Structure 1
């Protein structure tokens, strides 16, 4: 599993909704990408406030990382929509553990979701490259 969707854009996955939510997918097929919000159900319940993120070897504040161990274990991924059929959304670039509980799907809208003046904090100085990183088990319980 890549540690972020950009880590391997070719990873395909299927987001399967319960039948009761299938009608909510209407018109999502007009978007190229969507945001998945989900529960980190495999993360340790004891969430440290400092973690060593995948892209660094220095402890960082959990809120300055994308680490899955969090005080409120909610994840976010931006993925490419490949197709939508009935209650299934086939996506590319997914970085979510199989059977992860989905909380919500939102359309990705660059005008809303990509600030033009964003800085990336400590990641700017990181010598690592996200495109080559795969998840290890440091955050699994």
Structure 2
């Protein structure tokens, strides 16, 4: 892998699956919704994905940026990010459509601690 490539991380662990609810109040919203229509961290299944940017390699250590993974989360697998396979155009994004403009200027709330 060359630096500047993007990687697809598969992550997991019970740290965020304990105490989940099937109905949650999502970040950037004031209505309760089903957990599977949100990106809430506490979920019935503790496996997740993240896309990160590879900026360097030192021996067996990967240096990455743009990480949205909670510290201490186990890494299960690493795959190359291939836009032709991994990017899909979304025609609709449901309830989040009118909230998406706020994403770049807003940080996560306390649920990730």
SS at match of 1:129: helix
Aligned to 2:25: 52
Aligned to 1:85: 58
Deviation at 1:95, TM superposition (A): 1.3
Moved over 3 A (4+): none
RCO higher in 1 or 2 (8 Å CA, sep ≥ 6)?
1
Q: Which stretches in structure 2 are left out of the alignment for 5+ residues?
A: none
TM superposition score normalised by structure 1: 0.69
Q: In structure 1, what is the Cα distance between the partners aligned to 2:63 and 2:3?
A: 14
Q: What does residue range 1-141 of structure 1 map to in structure 2 within 5 Å?
A: 28-29=1-2, 32-43=5-16, 45-126=18-99, 129-138=102-111, 140=113
Q: Which stretches in structure 1 are left out of the alignment for 5+ residues?
A: 1-27
- Give CA-to-partner distance per residue, 1:100-120, whole Å, 9 cap, x none: 111111111110011235432
TM superposition score normalised by structure 2: 0.84
* Cα RMSD, aligned residues only: 2.1
Aligned residues: 113
